[in-house]
Amino acid sequence: MSQVNAARRRVLPGFGLTLGYSVLYLSLVVLIPLSALLLNSTGLSWEKFWHVATDPRVLASYKISFLTSAAAALIDSALGLLIAWVLVRYEFPGKRLFDALIDLPFALPTAVAGVALTALYSQNGWIGSLLEPLGIKVAFTQLGITIALMFIGIPFVVRTVQPVLQDAERDAEEAAATLGAKRFRTFRTIILPELIPPLLTGFALAFARGIGEYGSVVFISGNMPMKTEIAPLLIMSKLEQFDYAGAAAVAILLLLISFLLLLVINSLQRWTRRSVR
Amino acid sequence: MAGTVPMTSVQTSAQASPATTEAAWVKWLLIAAAGLALLWLIVLPLLIVITEALKKGWDVYVAALADPDALSALKLTLIVALVTVPLNTVFGIAAAWAITKFKFRGKGALITLIDLPFAVSPVIGGLIFVLVFGANGWFGPWLSDHDIKIIYAVPGIILATLFVTFPFVARELIPLMEDQGTQEEEAAVTLGARGWHVFTRVTLPNIKWGLLYGMILCNARAMGEFGAVSVVSGHIRGQTNTLPLHVEILYNEYQFSASFAVASLLLLLALVTLLIKSWLSWKNAH
């Protein structure tokens, strides 16, 4: 093996140049700026950090971020499974357009999503005016935040479940059917277990995106402290008051959560790839 | 974390034995339910941008787009994309070459670090540059002594955009080049081809569609980034306003028609991006 490595390293050119450039550019654009946050450039003391981190308004913002992101990712998992299933297993008119539109939340600037959703769900909007008589308020509530995060998260679930469903062997399904299993039972006992890894990955990706999301939420949330203020928004408002240490404290917590989620997602993705094989 | 999904082409024909398909009514019920979900979650937001933009008529729409502030926002958005997309493309190619053509220690860690900006909130993506270059930041005093403005100016917007769009091209190329292995390049070297030629003649033709795909995703995000840019821009009209920030300013001033008119430009960008993406997946499948 080491002989192969040595040979390969000799044969192809550009290793030092490309690796060196990659590491340099990565350091300049990502690592050094991120370290400014972690190396405590604002002179944040431990007491101040603790004070900010346990402030009721900060705690409330984390709670809101967690709850709305989890709810959105959960609903997205169910809808995403349905959409992936329909796209992989059935033929119907307009399927290619349907498939292409799933990626709209990836391509649409978040601010546009934000103003569009607010217009839809405000009191006299297309959907808001239908819900108003029922006493359901969406705009400027946590429900509104959840809907915005659902919009942002749905492609993550569809695009992780879809390829797994596509590659799934139909043998076991056929065997189950031959043995007399009803279709729903086959789905529950044969197909669904195979889809658990990609569903969890999709959930985690949508959740992680939701925790950090800003643009699509800021318009529909109304940004009321303790009620509809999410963590990224709190960073923004602390910055606007020139409270750099406070903003950094909230950001460090958010960053640690993101790192943890990244590790979870990486191992989930390895699990998904294994289950595909 | 957009763009973490590899380019897949969806070209299945659901042909299987009757034993593994659902009854027709179940099938159509599921299709209808999925269609409703799509209509509700994605099509309605798309339609309302267009109707709100044209609500007060074509003249108001055109006036909103021809406004000098809107034009300067458009110009800045194009400049930011023109700088960031090529820089991140060069990085993506270099990183993918090093990672997929050679074996070295720490490769896994490098791939994880490249993904990092997708995991970080865009607001933090802006904040870190304020901490480095802002008035109270690491280089703040030195920069103000030399009369250089980065934060609340165009360089800050470019840096924040570079950060959030950092992984797009690399992410697209790494799995693609991994699959293609090194045999063709090694053959070219054995036949006497030199470094740059190996890349342009052998590698590039194999990866061009994946590369283009990564670049259009990178471009869409660069033109549409809001959170990170919002932190570092300072929202100075005519100077540090990008199109997404202009949408916000007009919206907060209750100029809804104008706001949605500018938003419709960004929607157009998204739709063109999706069109090219579909075309590239189709191209890739054939």
Give pTM, 2 decimals: 0.91
Q: Does B56 touch chain A (CB under 8 A)?
A: no
Q: Look at domain A45-276 and name its CATH class.
A: mainly alpha
Does B115 contact chain A (CB < 8 Å)?
A: yes
Taking the C-alpha atoms of B182, B183, B188 and B191 in order, what is their torsion angle to the nearest 10 degrees? Answer: 140
Angstrom CA distances, A134 to A121, A129, B45, stand at 13, 9, 22
Which residues in chain B have their CB less than 8 angstroms from residue A89's CB?
A: 12, 14, 21
Across B74-92, b (16+ Cβ under 10 Å) vs e yields bebbeebbebbbebbbebb
Residue given tokens 């973490």 in the structure block: B4
> A119: phi > 0 → left, psi -120 to 50 → alpha, else beta; which?
alpha
* For chain A, domain boundaries: 45-276
Chain A hits for B111, CB-CB cut-off 8 Å, are none
Question: Mind telling me how many Å the CA of B119 is from chain A's nearest CA?
Answer: 6
**pLDDT 10s digits, B22-40:** 888 999 999 999 999 999 9
Residue ranges of the domains in chain B? 21-54, 56-285
> Per-residue DSSP letters for A198-242?
HHHHHHHHHHHHHHH--HHHHHHH---TTTT--HHHHHHHHHHTT
Question: Is the ipTM above a cut-off of 0.85?
Answer: yes
At residue B161's C-alpha, the angle toward residues B67 and A252, to 5°, is 125
Residue A185 — very low, low, confident or very high, per pLDDT cuts 50/70/90?
A: confident
Cα–Cα nearest to B212, from B180, B248, B173: B173
pLDDT band at B11 (very low <50, low <70, confident <90, very high): very low
Tell me how many helices (H) and strands (E) chain A has.
16, 0
CA distances for A181 relative to A176, A178, B24, B29, angstroms: 5, 7, 18, 21
In this prediction, residue A248 carries a pLDDT of 92
User: Are the CB atoms for B219 and B85 separated by under 8 Å?
Assistant: yes
Please enumerate in sequence order all residues whose Cβ is within 8 A of that of B253, keeping only pairs 6 or more positions apart, or say none.
none
Structure tokens that stand for B1 in this block: 């974390």
Q: What is the pLDDT of residues A18-76, one digit of tens each?
A: 999 999 999 999 999 999 898 876 778 888 889 988 999 999 999 999 999 999 999 99
Yes or no, beta carbons of A215 and B244 under 8 Å apart: yes
- Euclidean distance between CA atoms A107 and B273, whole angstroms: 7
Q: To which residue do tokens 């307009």 refer?
A: A94
Q: Which two tokens stand for residue B280?
A: 């590239």
What the block records as the tokens of B120 is 């970080």
pLDDT in the model for residue B242? 95
Q: Round to the nearest angstrom and report the end-to-end CA distance of chain B.
A: 28
Q: What is the structure's pLDDT at B285?
A: 76
| C-alpha to C-alpha distance for B153 and B59, rounded to whole angstroms | 33
Q: Looking at domain B56-285, which CATH architecture does it have?
A: Orthogonal Bundle (1.10)
pLDDT in tens, B209-225: 999 999 999 999 999 99
Q: Give the whole-number percent of chain A exceeding pLDDT 90.
A: 66
Average pLDDT over residues B113-140: 92
Please check whether residue A225 touches B, CB under 8 A: no
